[in-house]
Structure 1
Amino acid sequence: MPPEELQVFEKLEDRQDAVIGDVTDAVFQGIRTSANKIYVVDVLDANRIESDDEGDIVTVVPTGESEEYKIETDLLRPFLEGDEVTRWRGNWGGLHVIHPYYAETADNGELDAGLYSQDYLKENLPKTWEFFLEHKNALEGREGGRKDGKDDWYGYIYPKNLGKFEQPKIIQAHICQDATFMLDEVGTWYFSTAYSVLLSDNYRDLTEEMVCQLNSKALDFYFKHITTVKMGGYYEYRSQYVEKLPCVTEDNADVFGTMRETAGEIIDTIDLDSKADRFPEAYLGDYDGELDYISYEWQTRRYPVNADVQADVDDNFTVQAGRSDTINDPAMYSDDREARKLRAEYVHAAVDGRNVKSGEETTIPIPRDDAGVEELLDRLEADRDEVRQTDIGALESVIDEAVYDLFDLTEDEREVVEDYLEVF
């Protein structure tokens, strides 16, 4: 590398007090259910369900079918598909996975983990158990399935890493153009094709600071000098390279607080944007009014739906996507013209921007009361305003400066990093 780059590269090594491999306890893969079309579900009437959400009943639709089921929230976990792992926070599409396993730390400090028993499910989670019974034949018929009278047929074929998912962790994309490390600060997210880094016990409370460093320009500069370059300007963020990255575990520049606060603001904004993208389902958990349901079968594949609201000569409103898809349902009608328009705008917000296949059926919950429609639309617009007012790029610059301070880079050295990353 050129002398000025080598100088910065070596200074990052000189100022480190550890490398990522020194502070890492485990790097592990995502779950493998062998039946994602059954276990991975869309929740129709709630926002993100956390691991400690218990006792409620929600409506779910497995991704491989259109049938609706009522199940308890106890075993539902937010689920990210591979391409949903993005920088800072996942670009979550709203899916959950049914995870019929427990993981607890015993009094002796050892991990006690395993599959919930049939008796436990029957007694404590009867609706979830009924869901499993409805899919028993398919689950027993999986390749490597549990047949011959075994009683664990409702579990995953290859259950791994039980107990690791619900810990503060870092989730990393594999091949990307820039550092793409996602923060899971409390242990919420389950995933399939990505990898996760679990820090050692002594450093786990620094998970947020480590994500800030990993996503910083300084460490990405270092990384891109040691990794494998792929076609199209992509880099391979494999663990064997990530674990060599320099890091700082002592707050020598008094910036850890700034990093945590700024990362939190970035993540809150991304979460809010994700919530708005999942209107109306993400807003119904706090809505107590009665609902109607609009069902529509798409005539044309749309990636994404690009719709608008149209009025006819009688001041009735429809949602139109292209020439072939027109949503017009009795639940969109009201005696008041302005209320009819709001109902159409509600449906438009529910479908616009989503990816749908030809023949796919979309179910849209909509309040029966006109005031409820207006209330949810107002909440949506308030959230969108807050997202628009937050400059994530400016917040990332604050973190970059904090990491520069940690490694004591001069203004000239910072400019070397910035210039390099403009090209690579």
Structure 2
Amino acid sequence: MPPEELSVFNKLAENGDNQIKDVTQGVFQGIRTSANKIYIVDVLDADRVESQDTEGTVTISPIGGSKEFEIEKDLLRPFLQGDEIGRWRGEWSGRHVVHPYRVIRDDEGEIVDSELYSQDYLEQELPKTWDFFLHYQEELEGREGGRMEGEEDWYGYIYPKNLELYENPKIIQSEICSRATYMLDEVGTWYFTTGYGALLEPGYRNQTKEIVSQLNSKALDFYFKHIAVIKAGGYYSYRTQYVEQLPCITNGESRLEQELEETISNITDLIDTGTRTDRFPEAYLEKYDGSLAYINYKWQTRRYPVNADIQEKADGRFAVTAGRSDEITAPLMDKGDREERKLRAKYVQAAVDGRNMKSGEEQTIPIPDTQGGVEQLIDALEADRQTVEETSIKELENKIDQTVYQMFDLSDEEQAVIEDYLKVF
């Protein structure tokens, strides 16, 4: 290690008041269902369903087929696949896991364990969800050579490990990356696979935002890359044995800690807004209380992604087109005068543009019955898009880097050593 890099490396270690291993209660791997094609589902008529959402039903379609089911919301949890674990926030595809387990809390409300819901409970309290499991009973019992055949818990996961940890504030990390990629889950929303979750010790859990900010900073990534082994293509394995050695500051100047918390909140709010625009209109329906109708369309050609246009036809109707083979028209797009028809086409275009659609895949587009409802959702979408366009995540990340530099008391020259190193590694 060159002398100037060694000096900065040592200063980071000396000025940290803890190492990550000192503030972490445990690291755990993602869930293994052994039947993702059944448990992992698309929700067709709602956006994100979380653990506290226990009223009503939604329509789901398992990723392994096209069959649709109506089930209660109670067991649905937002789910990230490995390549969706992102920096600060996940790049969520909109999928959920049907999770037939409940958490057990102690007298103080802390989660201490989890257990499989009983068949009696599911039959009596969540009958639509139980019907869903019964539909797949043969396949679920046949997992791993019939391992669950005849077992009372045939509808549960084969490897139900660490399930009590997911609904806590946590840090989710992707293992193979070219730079630090730590995701904040401040309330315990996300379930995931092919990644790692880190749960902080109870005494540090309220500092989860600050720790994630430090982990994603240039300062700590500089430190990490001096103790880890680089792989082909400039990638690193962000394994626990390396991450736990990183220095961190948990008892720093309150002004700087507040700056970190505010900045990461701005970053996550911005990413959440961008994600919401990508999931129009589903992500906007929670706040819409008007009546809906539905447009169904079967895609003729594989489009990754859909590049949709609006075309006015000779008879005054509007169509949403993609390439030569896909054209969406529907009576619901033909309502009203020319301006309303054009607005409805704009709505449908926004609902399909940028999506990844397979040939033969059917898409259901919920659309308000009234012109006012369509305008309301389009206006909300455009306001969010403007917010995303006007705000720079890069500038916010630079602010975090500068705050972390101050926390570790690094001079301009020492900061330059880190910046120059990370331009290469």
TM-score, normalised relative to structure 2: 0.96
Deviation at 1:67, TM superposition (A): 2.2
For the residue of structure 2 that corresponds to 1:254, the secondary structure is helix
Indicate conservation of the 8 Å contact 2:12/2:408, yes or no: yes
Deviation at 1:238, TM superposition (A): 1.2
| More off after superposition, 68-77 vs 288-297 | 288-297
Indicate conservation of the 8 Å contact 2:142/2:149, yes or no: no
Deviation at 1:202, TM superposition (A): 2.2
Instruction: Within 5 Å, give how 1:50-69 maps onto structure 2.
Output: 50-69=50-69
| More off after superposition, 283-292 vs 33-42 | 283-292
| Residues 319-372 of structure 1: per-residue CA shift (max 9 Å, x gap) | 111111111122221131111111111111111111111121111111222221
Aligned pair 1:11/2:11, yes or no?
A: yes
Indicate conservation of the 8 Å contact 2:141/2:149, yes or no: no
Question: What is the aligned partner in structure 2 of residue 20 from structure 1?
Answer: 20
Question: What is the aligned partner in structure 2 of residue 36 from structure 1?
Answer: 36
What count of residue pairs does the alignment treat as equivalent? Answer: 424
For the residue of structure 2 that corresponds to 1:74, the secondary structure is helix
Cα separation, 2, equivalents of 1:61 and 1:54: 19
The verdict on how the C-alpha distance between 1:129 and 1:146 changes in structure 2, with shifts beyond 3 A counting, is farther
Indicate conservation of the 8 Å contact 2:141/2:150, yes or no: no
Question: What is the aligned partner in structure 2 of residue 195 from structure 1?
Answer: 196
Cα separation, 2, equivalents of 1:242 and 1:2: 22
Deviation at 1:144, TM superposition (A): 5.1
For the residue of structure 1 that corresponds to 2:41, the secondary structure is strand
| Residues 114-150 of structure 1: per-residue CA shift (max 9 Å, x gap) | 1000111122212211221222222122225554532
Indicate conservation of the 8 Å contact 1:37/1:64, yes or no: yes
For the residue of structure 1 that corresponds to 2:50, the secondary structure is coil
Instruction: Within 5 Å, give how 1:238-257 maps onto structure 2.
Output: 238-252=239-253, 254-257=255-258
Deviation at 1:278, TM superposition (A): 0.5
Question: What is the aligned partner in structure 2 of residue 313 from structure 1?
Answer: 314
Instruction: Within 5 Å, give how 1:149-298 maps onto structure 2.
Output: 149-252=150-253, 254-298=255-299
Where do 5+ consecutive residues of structure 2 fail to align?
A: none
| Residues 249-269 of structure 1: per-residue CA shift (max 9 Å, x gap) | 112463111111110111011
For the residue of structure 2 that corresponds to 1:395, the secondary structure is helix
Question: What is the aligned partner in structure 2 of residue 113 from structure 1?
Answer: 114
Aligned pair 1:104/2:126, yes or no?
A: no
| Residues 298-321 of structure 1: per-residue CA shift (max 9 Å, x gap) | 222111111111112222111111
For the residue of structure 1 that corresponds to 2:10, the secondary structure is helix
For the residue of structure 2 that corresponds to 1:374, the secondary structure is helix
- Could you tell me which amino acid in structure 2 is paired with residue 83 of structure 1? D
Cα separation, 1, equivalents of 2:146 and 2:407: 52
Where do 5+ consecutive residues of structure 1 fail to align?
A: none
- Could you tell me which amino acid in structure 2 is paired with residue 79 of structure 1? F
TM-score, normalised relative to structure 1: 0.96
- Could you tell me which amino acid in structure 2 is paired with residue 322 of structure 1? G
- Could you tell me which amino acid in structure 2 is paired with residue 276 of structure 1? T
The verdict on how the C-alpha distance between 1:192 and 1:145 changes in structure 2, with shifts beyond 3 A counting, is farther
| More off after superposition, 60-69 vs 20-29 | 60-69
| Residues 37-56 of structure 1: per-residue CA shift (max 9 Å, x gap) | 11111112222122111122
Indicate conservation of the 8 Å contact 1:55/1:72, yes or no: yes
Hey, which bits of structure 1, 4+ residues long, moved more than 4 A? 144-148
The alignment's C-alpha RMSD in Å is 1.6
Question: What is the aligned partner in structure 2 of residue 408 from structure 1?
Answer: 409
If each structure's helix is expressed as a fraction of its own residues, which one has the higher value? 2
